[in-house]
Amino acid sequence: MHEVVHARGHEHVSAAHTSTFEVTSDDWLTPAGDCILAVDADRVPADFDDAFVDACQDPAATVTATLTATTDDGTTVTDTITGRGHPELSFENERSHVGRTSEYVDNRTVCVGADAAAADIDRALVDALAGGADLRLELTVGSEGKHTT
């Protein structure tokens, strides 16, 4: 099962945060938002299908975030972050998607125990986003390392 979100980069994308990454529906970003990878997301967690949410609430679930930036000249850069599900994931937020390396959960959290944060993302992808590239965030959930479609 998967959900896809489209957003765009912003000149203030720095991807320096060491424990989270975020994609927001806000259409602006300040330099302080060092976990934010993209703005103006076309979907938020509250838009996701109930079956997807249920699957993510399984603590054995693997949640994979595939980040693909496409620049105006058609260049693409992709990076992948893998985390886990958690029984308290609610997907109720109407603003932001946040992946976390920790076990902390709030209504913005889309995965916990992630193997990377904003600071770990491929710098070519970060540079593309800082240049305003379009972002495709695909969240895929599966159990025991096996993704479902």
Residue 48 domain-assigned (yes or no): yes
Quote the percentage of the chain above a pLDDT of 70: 96
Read off the pLDDT band of 144 (50, 70, 90): low
Residue 119 domain-assigned (yes or no): yes
Contact at 8 Å (CB) between 10 and 39? Answer: yes
Which residue's structure tokens are 């806000």? 26
Residue 146 domain-assigned (yes or no): no
Report the C-alpha gap between 127 and 58 in whole angstroms. Answer: 34
Residue 110 domain-assigned (yes or no): yes
Read off the pLDDT band of 148 (50, 70, 90): very low
pLDDT tens-place string over residues 67-113: 999 999 999 999 999 999 999 999 999 999 999 999 999 999 999 99
Which pLDDT does position 76 carry in this prediction?
97
Report the C-alpha gap between 37 and 54 in whole angstroms. Answer: 26
Distances (CA, A) of 85 to 2, 20, 62, 63, 70: 13, 15, 6, 6, 28
**pLDDT surpassing 50 at residue 42:** yes
**pLDDT surpassing 60 at residue 62:** yes
pLDDT tens-place string over residues 2-14: 999 999 999 999 9
Judged by DSSP in three states, 47 sits in helix
pLDDT tens-place string over residues 118-140: 999 999 999 999 999 999 999 99
**pLDDT surpassing 50 at residue 145:** no
- DSSP bridge partners of 79: 67
What's the CATH code of the domain at 46? 2.60.120.630
Query: What's the N-to-C CA distance of the chain in angstroms?
Result: 4
> Residue 115 belongs to what domain range?
2-128
Which pLDDT does position 149 carry in this prediction?
39
pLDDT, average across residues 30-49:
97
Residue 148 domain-assigned (yes or no): no
The structural domain count of the chain equals 1
